[in-house]
Structure 1
Amino acid sequence: MRTTAANGWKIIHQARSYNPRTGEVHGQWLGRDSTTGWVVGRLHPSLSRQDDGFGEDGSWWYSNYYQGDQSEHRNRLDAAAGYLRMAKEVTHAWSSIFEQRVEEALDRELAGRVPWPGVDKLAAGWEGQPVGQGVPIVGSTALLPPTEAKRYLLGHLRSTTASAALHITPNSISYEQAEALVVAATGSIRFEFGRNTYWLSEG
């Protein structure tokens, strides 16, 4: 199974499923280019689980491309949605933890884009502010290597977006802007998104 690249596209995630009725193995992959483009590829069906689904020349069966004038963030979200849809409707590679694994792969890719040099560990955390009296503050903090700290915070940013969005004001930053702050960080950051506060700092 290819793990890094396919014809110039960086592979972010791939999945395969076996159809016991036909004996065929079906697969798919999610990738990005060096700019703003994303791709969802359908792999060649195979009768062998040892076959990775790519042709000898690195080709695959067909693709759905997410490029054009949209932002990289928008292309990525659209591609992820298309990848999940393919897993459910076409290759049947979807499972109860499939979406979680895809989200983790996307977080890892984002977290690795901009290194944070010179430190061994970062403190990554978030805190949700209570809406009414007597409501406890929620949140978490972890001390991790820089790339893992970014991945940790990106995961919490995504998982808390729904609650944060309930308190967005015209002056609030957007989810896309919040994500970009984490990805680009090379020094300590602290920001608010909705009623939540997120941070990365040298521990």
Structure 2
Amino acid sequence: MSAVVQGWTIVTQTRQQVAPNHMQGVFLATCGERWMVGRQYDGKKGTTGFSKDGEWWHARYFDGDTGTDNMLAALDAYPDAAMKAAVWDRMFHQDATESVCRFLAGGEEDGRPKLSAGWKQTEVLSGVPVTSSTIPMPFHEAKYELLWFIIWSTRLSAKVHLTKGVTMSRHEAVTLVRQATGPIRFEMGYNTYWLAQEEDSTNAL
């Protein structure tokens, strides 16, 4: 279960020794539709980076129109905070995104079907359409994979801003996946996405 500080659920955090017996750290947290990038207090090895009351050093808050926009903005700001705290590495952004997708997908649910997750270019003017899909897997894992496609793999290539009002927005897509209880299929930007049962997965392509 994720830790909660001052009402904020910590989705991911990094705390490392940056000098002999000296620790620095950052964390990414959410509260409802709001997201935050926080800087922990500097401290000695063994400290958590939070005060006894759960306070942190300072933070940037993201509370715009949609939770998805806030989440994406926080994800983009998180590596910069890590660089300033000297805890960044080249996989930092990708690892943080993975943590966010797993948080949004939720935990395992009994009685849910195994599904495959996938996406493809909806329209291709020439050549072979780009597509990617998984094998059937536990429900929450399939949701994670689909969220990964939406938030990481196709964040730029889907060109959602060019189809505003025509297809789902990214926020609507993320919300649909989070609330899904079975197979789904939808268009977002220039791509089609799905969660499909095994017998339907070949038809999804």
Q: What TM-score does the superposition give when structure 2 sets the normalisation length?
A: 0.83
Partner of 1:39: 36
Contact kept in structure 2, 1:16 and 1:91, CA below 8 Å: no
1:109 aligns with 2:108: no
- Structure 2 residue aligned with 1:28: 26
Structure 1 residues without counterparts, runs of 5 or longer = none
After superposition, the C-alpha distances for 1:11-66 in whole angstroms (9 at most, x for unaligned) are 1010123223x652111111111x22222221111122x22212222222222222
1:25 is aligned with what amino acid?
A: M
Aligned to 2:133, which of 132, 137, 140? 140
Name the SS for the 1:162 alignment partner.
coil
Displacement after TM superposition at 1:178 (Å): 1.9
Structure 1 runs, 4 residues or longer, greater than 6 Å off = none
Cα–Cα, structure 1 residues 130 and 162, in superposed 2: closer, same or farther, change >3 Å? same
Post-superposition offset of 1:167: 9.2
What letter is aligned with 1:157? I
User: How big is each residue's C-alpha offset from its partner over 1:137-157, in whole Å with a ceiling of 9 and x where there is no partner?
Assistant: 532222111111111011112
Q: Which moved more, 1:188-197 or 1:150-159?
A: 188-197
Q: Residue 55 of structure 2 aligns with which residue?
A: 59
Structure 1 match to 2:8: 9
Structure 2: segments with no counterpart, 5+ residues: 199-205
Following the alignment from structure 1 to structure 2, what is the Cα–Cα distance between the partners of residues 11 and 200?
A: 28
The number of residue pairs the alignment matches comes to: 196
RMSD: 2.5
Could you tell me how far apart the structure 1 residues matched to 2:127 and 2:70 are?
41
Matched with 1:186 is 181
Percent identical residues = 37
Q: Which residue of 2 aligns with 1:76?
A: 71
* CA offset digits 1:97-145 (Å, max 9, x no partner): 11111000110111118x7662241221122356344425532222111
How far is the alpha carbon of 1:198 from its aligned partner?
1.0
Q: Which residue of 2 aligns with 1:96?
A: 90
Q: Deviations over 1:68-91 (max 9, x none)?
A: x52212222222222222112x20
TM-score (normalizing by structure 1): 0.83
